[in-house]
Structures are given as structure tokens and as C-alpha cells.
Amino acid sequence: MSTTAIEATDAASETMRTRHQGPSKRDVMFVFIGLMVTMLMSSLSQTVLSTAMPTIVGDLGGVDRMTWVVTGYALAMTVMMPVYGRISDIFGRKPLLLIAIVLFMSGSIVGALAGNMNLLVTARVIQGLGGGGLMILSQSAIADVVPARERGKYMGVMGAVFAVSSVAGPLIGGWLTSGPGWRWAFWMNIPLSILALAAVTVFLHLPKPSKENRSHIDYFGMALIAAITVIIVLVCTNASKPHTWNWAEVIVALAVLIALFVFVELKVKEPVMPMTLFRNSNFDVATIGALLIGVAMFGVLSYLPTYIQMTTGVTATQAGLLMVPMMASVLVTSIISGNLVSKTGKYKIYPIVGTTIMAVGLALTSTLKADSPVWLLCVYTMVFGIGLGLGQQILTLIVQDAFPTSIVGTATASFNYFKQVGATIGSAVVGSIFTSRLTGFVHDNLAAVMSQMASSGAVMGHRGTAAMNGAMHLSASSLTPSGVNALPGMLRTPIIDAYNSALLPIFLWMVPFMILAVIVFFFVRQKELSTTLEH
């Protein structure tokens, strides 16, 4: 046999060893259910305690540490994303996913039994250490068991799960708090964790990665990215307190750490975030686009529920229900676009069309007034949700399709890391602009009311004057829906108008970000999606 023939035979044998059709549909379905449970637990935990916090503070005290219940989880989750991604590429997805589930379940048990706020914050950090893995590894594991061509429909369902949990979290938290108690927001994770453990243990069967690089773990890179993330998240979550930081020192420290991180990643054998990822144009395009979308998405999701409560006077639970149309549209369009990608193999059009529709939805929402009908708000936000569902989850598929399975965990984690950091920065910037504008508008509107009453000779009385003077000194952070709705009409109306004027124009300012994202997505290179798995 000739050398050429031998080489051809060897190549064919290698192809047979590394390309296959994957596990049976039955096993994939059971694995998928388990992975959906893990993603649901992680995404629910980001919002489930939002409506329970006043009750928790009343039970445990420690109001000064209340924000850390949220920040601790977000910080730990963001730090761990790239770590889980890289380590899972070296040691395999399954053992890391089992560790993440156990960590998350341990944090849930500690949280359920917490007797003080310090212990609750510790529990949330432990949950976050596991939650980062649940989010990343569930997405990466799908790439291990489902070919790229079929992966679209699974990604669509994943996007739908995330959308549903964004609304379901506050609703479930409110229901548990008013019913069996807020501790059940932690206890409910135990049976879900056991179900996920069983599904992953029994049904997730993956080829074992090579042992060659297990001695080259990038510990220094992991430490550096953790330090960078801690600084970014802490600065962003305290952006409304400008005197908390020496900004010059923070910027210099970040620049030095980022430069050192890039240097380390270029030198080590198995970097936690390989710089070669950024040589792939589809990875760069998807990451930049996701960052831009994250600014708008979290701006809407973070402040719209409170806006609904302020302007309509409904409860937190009712405000959550009024966001159901938006999330329902995300759910439906996520599933539809995912199935269309699997059917046609084409994915470039969906982020472009989806982001364009998001821009339209933001522009429409910015035109709402404080007295606009509720149904109009639901329609406009539903338009936004249609766009979000069309393209958001497809970006993960674009990233995964750009790299071989051997580093798909690293690529997925790096993409999600930048998306999470971008969303944190976007939320902080939107929040800072909003609170600054709100304070100014409240003062101006109330001053106008006082001037109008003085010119008309109206008499407010002692209580009315005291209420007006107190309202003039309100800060943006002290404006709660229940407090505003309890004010007399002469004070409530100008404050609600101020809230509307301070927030909704910001939605219009986000439209250029969406237009920029549309332009960026035109640079996505459409590739033929593989119908087989490669290991």
C-alpha cells in the first residue's frame, strides 16, 4: 500500500474516532432536562430574593449589608465563569458540573438555616460559586452532546428558560415570603439540585479530555481575572456613591491588572482566557453585540418593574405580572428562532432582525407618559421582548460554532463573562444617570407646584407645608412605590411625572447602542453548521 493510501486510511480512522452522531435522542432529552434545571436554579437565584429583602432584613437585621445579598452572588458567579469554562475543557464537563451543583446546594442549605445577615451573605457567595458553573456548563454540555445544526432549538429553549426566570424569580420570591416564608427560596433548590445531580450522573456521558495539559492550570491568570472582576463589580454596584472611590487610583489599578493579565495569558501554556479567542471574528462580533444588548436589556429589566409600581400604584407582584407579556414574547420567539436555525442552518439574520426590533421597542417605550394606559406599556415592552428572543440566545450558538469542542467551554465562558460584566456596567451607568436626573426633576417639579400655589394664593395648611418641605428634601433612593403612593395627590403627581421624565428618555438613548449592535452583527460570518459531533 502506498504512503498516500496509508495516510488516507489513517485520516479516515481518525475521523471515525472523533466524529459521531452522539448519544440517543432519549438520553439527550434527559440530559437536557437536567441542564435546564441547573440553568433555572442559577437564573432564578439572581432575582428570587428581590421581593423578599424587606422581610429578610426585618428578620435578620443588618440593613447595611442588604446589598451584599445580591452583590455577593453576582460577584462570585461572574468570577467563576471563565474558571469553570477553562477547567471543564481540561478535566471534562461532567465532574465540574457535579461540583457546581453540590456547591449551589450547599449554599442553599446554609442560606435556609442562616440566623444572621453575615451568614446569609456567605451563603449567597457559596451559591454564586456554584451558580457560575451551572450557567456556563449547562450551555457548554449541550455543545458536547448535540451537533451545531441541531443545537439551535435547544438554545432557543435555554433562552426561554432565562426569560421566564427573570419574571418568575420576583413572583416566586414574593409568594414564598407571604406564604411559607422566605427561607423556602433556598429550600426549594434542594429537590431541584438532587434532580439535576441524578440526570447528570446517569445520562451525561462524554469522552474524557486528554490528561496531557492537566498540570498546566493557569492559577495566576485565574487570580488576576478574579481581582479585575471584583474591582469592576464593586465599582459598578457603588457607582451612585462617587465619593466611595478614588477614581484615578481605580482606573490605574485596572489598567495595570488588565495589562498583566494579557501578558500572562500570552505566555502560559493553558490560559484561562486564551488571547487566540479574539482572533476569531465571530467571537469578537458576538461578544461586542452581546455587551451592547446587555446594556439595554438590564436597563429595562432592572428599572421597569419599579416604574410600573410608581406610575400605576400596583403591588410588586402585580408589576411582575404586567411584565409577563414581554417575557412571553421572549419565550415564544426564542423557541421559534432556535427551531428555524436547526431547520435551515442559517443564523446570521436573527441577531440583526432581533436587535432592530429591540431598538423599535425601546423607542416606543420611551414615548410613554405617566398616565399612559397599562395595555400600551405591555404592547411596547412585548415588541422589545420579541426582538430580544429572536437573537439573544443565537449568539451563544455563533460563539460555540466558531471553535472546536476541545475549547468550547472556554469560549462559552469567556463570551458570557464579558456579557455579564457589560450588563453590570450598563446597569450601573443607567442607574447613576437615572438617579441623578430623578433627584433634579423631583426638586424642580415640587418647586413648580409650590410656586404655582403661592401665585394663586392657595393655602396648604401646616401639615401640607410640612409634607411639601419634606418632599423637597427627598433623595432618589428614598422614593419607594409604597411611600409615593401614600402621599397626597399634590405631591404624588409631580413625583410620578419626575420618575417618568427621568427614566423613559434613557430608553431612547439606548437606541443608538442597538443600531450599533445591528451594524456589528452584519459582520457575522455565516458558516455551515455541523451535523455531527467532534471530540
Q: Is a pLDDT exceeding 60 seen at residue 383?
A: yes
Provide the 8-state DSSP code for 217.
B
pLDDT band at residue 56 using 50, 70 and 90 as cut-offs: confident
Q: Which residue has the cell 424587606?
A: 54
Tell me what pLDDT residue 215 has. 58
Summarize the confidence of residues 56-68 as an average pLDDT. Answer: 75
Calculated CA dihedral for residues 226, 229, 231, 234, nearest 10 degrees: -120
Cell numbers placing 527? 458558516
For residue 31, give Cα distances in angstroms to 39, 94, 142: 12, 11, 9
Share of the chain above pLDDT 70, in %: 82
Nearest CA-CA partner of 81 in 396, 400, 413:
413
The rounded distance, in Å, linking the Cα atoms of 394 and 348 is 9
pLDDT band at residue 331 using 50, 70 and 90 as cut-offs: confident
Provide the 8-state DSSP code for 146.
S
Interval 113-135: pLDDT, tens: 998 888 999 999 999 999 888 88
User: Cβ(76)–Cβ(125) under 8 Å?
Assistant: yes
Q: Is a pLDDT exceeding 50 seen at residue 340?
A: yes
Q: Is a pLDDT exceeding 50 seen at residue 255?
A: yes
Summarize the confidence of residues 312-338 as an average pLDDT. Answer: 83
Which residue type is seen at 70? Answer: V
For 163-296, strand residue ranges (E) read none
Provide the 8-state DSSP code for 65.
G
Interval 477-530: pLDDT, tens: 556 666 677 777 777 788 888 888 888 888 898 899 899 999 999 999 988 777
- Which pairs from 336-340 meet CB under 8 Å and 24+ separation? 336/156, 336/389, 337/152, 337/156, 337/389, 337/390, 337/391, 337/393, 337/394, 338/152, 338/153, 338/154, 338/155, 338/156, 338/157, 338/159, 338/393, 338/394, 339/152, 339/153, 339/156, 340/152
The rounded distance, in Å, linking the Cα atoms of 181 and 184 is 6
Tell me what pLDDT residue 2 has. 42
Q: Is the dihedral of CA 91, 128, 355, 156 positive or negative?
A: positive
19, containing H or E segment: strand 19-20
Of residues 348 and 176, more confidently modeled: 348
The rounded distance, in Å, linking the Cα atoms of 155 and 341 is 10
The rounded distance, in Å, linking the Cα atoms of 228 and 520 is 26
Q: What is the pTM of this model?
A: 0.80
Tell me what pLDDT residue 394 has. 87
Could you give phi then psi for residue 248, rounded to 5 degrees? -65, -45
Nearest CA-CA partner of 487 in 303, 304, 316, 313:
313
Q: Is a pLDDT exceeding 50 seen at residue 11?
A: no
